[in-house]
């Protein structure tokens, strides 16, 4: 900016703004901060003696809300820090007051930079101080014969192959609210369909993951009974699925054997009708929060997600673990660059190494696919201020809270540990949630910044938004506004409110997605391909 412009001082762009009102700096080591609001180029930020801040900073260009600006000059190749952690490296020299984003920040590591991403000898895992049993909270859930507890009470019509999807959906749609009025304890009859089941290798990972998912849904604590529908000539045979995972082969129907779609639908309606009385006989009873298994998920993240929504969910996760329950973090490509924060919390070196093995597999997998993990963040993430996968990952890991990492499991494997479990999944939200719910999660906490309309049956999905603007714009889809943290609300108070809401929804209050009927089309088993 030239001297003539600076002398005029008449435009809004030249107005001095207190730096505390204009930006958020997360750690004293950070060379970057986030704009609290849209800031015009030429604006002058005045520190007024704020510790660690420049006395006066002129913005060299407009900075959108949630985007990063340099607090000082950053040399080319220098590690750039946010949260006190490396989020990337300057791809060129960056001046103080300049926008820091994809044009000048990347993940290409300088040759002389050394970072330890191995297993720490001095990890941070500590024993969990459990809440005394007499003080633990409860929710109203469905106690199942295997000891698990459901938050919903569905009958599931499960297609074993895409060719059976229409028949499964037609069976489920027969059971309208009017036809289910006589069985009020049943939350509904749902069709669980997908696009796989044939044209896959029976010894390949896609086949294994598909069967795990379908078996996990059939045995899910939110499912009181199930019917399996197949075509007959597909790779994913009902008999093999039942034998491999201990399902009831008698619950299966084969379209080719029954004589076609119409006859299969008629038989399926009769089978579901026979399941309804037993399902209706199981009512909600007070159950300890220890029986909750939370799937921790994020989608459409923005730069505020790692400051508001994800840390709020992390505090809820901590409390559920203290109550004796479990939480499941996933999306291996989206913890890339922040995995050291999880390995330090691992309950044993073996658990830490198992997580690192998954990360290394993804590095090799993306190379085989001719891509790279830093293809994530998505365009919407970048529009919201997230630049690199490292930055996104540091915010995403916050969802898991601070408790020890107790187990690491494969995609759609049943989760048995209490505490924090990590599940290996892609970063694609529907595929990831499918694996978590198949593993036994009975409630989904889903954070977003840009906004998502995601829902998932049979597990209710609670959507937590990172900023008030998105919440107000998409209030019919957003369950909870964590953006109040940016407006001065205490993180702990907001987390306590979210826990109350999660317990209410686990007890039967419909989530926003459930109220709109969303969640029956999102089942997406991982098919191995080029998904990241």
Per-10-residue mean pLDDT of the chain, 532 residues long, equals: 38 72 93 96 86 87 97 96 94 97 92 68 73 95 97 98 98 98 98 96 94 98 98 98 97 98 98 98 98 97 96 98 98 94 95 96 89 76 92 96 97 97 96 98 97 97 98 98 96 98 98 97 87 63
Is 422 among the domain residues? Answer: yes
Is 117 among the domain residues? Answer: no
Locate 57 and state its tokens: 């900073």
Is 232 among the domain residues? Answer: yes
* 461-465 and 326-329 beta bridge pairing: unpaired
Q: Would you call 396 helix, strand, or coil by DSSP?
A: helix
Q: From residue 97, give the alpha-carbon distance in Å to each of 8, 71, 252, 303.
A: 20, 6, 65, 18
Same domain, residue pair 267 and 341: no
Q: Quick one: pLDDT at residue 377?
A: 80
Q: What is the pTM of this model?
A: 0.93
CATH of the domain at 350: 3.40.50
Is 124 among the domain residues? Answer: no
Same domain, residue pair 266 and 306: no
Query: Cβ(318)–Cβ(495) under 8 Å?
Result: no
Q: Which stretch of DSSP H or E encloses residue 24?
A: strand 23-24
Is 493 among the domain residues? Answer: yes
Q: Quick one: pLDDT at residue 274?
A: 98
Q: Quick one: pLDDT at residue 123?
A: 64
In the sheet with 68-70, reading across from the earlier edge strand, the strands are 23-24, 32-35, 68-70, 99-100
Same domain, residue pair 271 and 379: no
DSSP state of 356: H
Same domain, residue pair 275 and 355: no
Same domain, residue pair 311 and 442: yes
Residue written as tokens 């898991």? 400
Same domain, residue pair 254 and 377: no
Q: From residue 272, give the alpha-carbon distance in Å to each of 143, 157, 174, 250.
A: 21, 8, 10, 13
Give the residue from 462, 418, 427, 423 showing the smallest Cα distance to 439.
423
Give the ranges where 337-487 is alpha helix by DSSP (H): 339-343, 349-368, 379-383, 389-397, 429-438, 468-473
Same domain, residue pair 340 and 469: yes
| Residue ending a domain, choose from 283, 316, 345 | 283
Same domain, residue pair 265 and 299: no
Locate 473 and state its tokens: 């714009």
Q: Quick one: pLDDT at residue 7?
A: 38
Q: Quick one: pLDDT at residue 374?
A: 64
Is 115 among the domain residues? Answer: no
Q: Name every residue whose Cβ is closer than 8 Å to that of residue 47 and which is 6 or more positions away in sequence.
A: 19, 53, 54, 55, 56, 57
Q: Quick one: pLDDT at residue 5?
A: 38
Same domain, residue pair 50 and 77: yes
Same domain, residue pair 247 and 296: no
Distance CA 406, CA 352 (A): 10
* 85-90 and 105-106 beta bridge pairing: antiparallel
Q: Return the bridge partners of 106, or none.
A: 89
Is 132 among the domain residues? Answer: no
Q: Please give the residue range of the domain that contains residue 238.
A: 161-283
Per the structure, the count of domains in the chain is: 3
Is 133 among the domain residues? Answer: no
Same domain, residue pair 279 and 326: no
Same domain, residue pair 375 and 249: no
């Amino acid at each position: 900016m030239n001297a003539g412009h600076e002398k005029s001082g008449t435009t809004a762009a030249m107005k001095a703004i207190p730096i505390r009102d204009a930006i958020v700096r997360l750690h004293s080591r950070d060379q970057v901060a986030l704009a609290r609001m849209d800031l015009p180029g030429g604006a002058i930020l005045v520190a007024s003696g704020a510790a660690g801040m420049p006395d006066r900073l002129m913005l060299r260009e407009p900075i959108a809300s949630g985007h990063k600006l340099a607090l000082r000059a950053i040399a080319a190749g220098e590690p750039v820090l946010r949260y006190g952690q490396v989020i990337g490296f300057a791809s060129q020299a960056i001046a103080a007051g300049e926008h820091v984003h994809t044009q000048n920040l990347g993940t290409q590591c300088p040759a002389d930079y050394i970072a330890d991403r191995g297993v720490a000898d001095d990890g941070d895992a500590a024993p969990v101080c459990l809440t005394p049993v007499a003080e633990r909270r409860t929710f109203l859930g469905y106690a199942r014969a295997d000891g698990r507890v459901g938050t919903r009470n569905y009958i599931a019509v499960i297609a074993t192959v895409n060719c059976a999807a229409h028949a499964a959906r037609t069976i489920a749609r027969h059971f309208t609210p009017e036809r289910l009025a006589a069985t009020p304890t049943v939350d509904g009859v749902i069709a669980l369909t997908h696009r796989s089941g044939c044209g896959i290798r029976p010894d390949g990972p896609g086949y294994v993951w598909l069967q795990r998912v379908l078996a996990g849904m059939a045995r899910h604590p939110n499912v009181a009974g199930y019917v399996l529908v197949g075509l007959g000539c597909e790779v994913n045979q009902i008999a093999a699925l039942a034998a491999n995972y201990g399902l009831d082969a008698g619950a299966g129907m084969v379209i080719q054997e029954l004589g076609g779609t119409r006859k299969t639908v008629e038989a399926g309606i009769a089978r579901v009708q026979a399941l309804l009385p037993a399902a209706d006989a199981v009512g909600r009873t007070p159950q300890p929060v220890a029986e909750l298994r939370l799937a921790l998920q994020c989608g459409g993240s923005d730069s505020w997600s790692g400051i508001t929504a994800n840390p709020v969910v992390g505090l809820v996760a901590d409390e559920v673990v203290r109550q004796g329950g479990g939480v499941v973090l996933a999306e291996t490509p989206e913890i890339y660059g922040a995995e050291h924060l999880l390995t330090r919390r691992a309950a044993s070196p073996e658990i830490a190494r198992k997580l690192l093995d998954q990360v290394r597999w993804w590095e090799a997998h993306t190379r085989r696919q001719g891509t790279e993990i830093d293809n994530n963040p998505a365009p919407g993430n970048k529009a919201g201020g997230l630049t690199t996968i490292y930055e996104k990952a540091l915010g995403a890991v916050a969802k898991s809270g601070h408790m020890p990492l107790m187990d690491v499991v494969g995609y759609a494997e049943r989760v048995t540990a209490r505490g924090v479990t990590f599940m290996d999944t892609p970063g694609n939200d529907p595929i990831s949630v499918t694996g978590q719910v198949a593993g036994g999660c009975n409630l989904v906490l889903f954070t977003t910044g840009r906004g998502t309309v995601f829902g998932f049956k049979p597990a209710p999905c609670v959507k937590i938004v990172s900023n008030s603007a998105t919440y107000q714009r998409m209030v019919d889809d957003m369950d909870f506004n964590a953006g109040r943290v940016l407006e001065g609300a205490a993180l702990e108070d907001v987390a306590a409110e979210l826990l109350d809401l999660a317990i209410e929804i686990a007890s039967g209050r419909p989530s926003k997605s459930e109220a709109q009927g969303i969640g029956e089309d999102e089942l997406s088993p991982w098919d191995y391909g080029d998904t990241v």
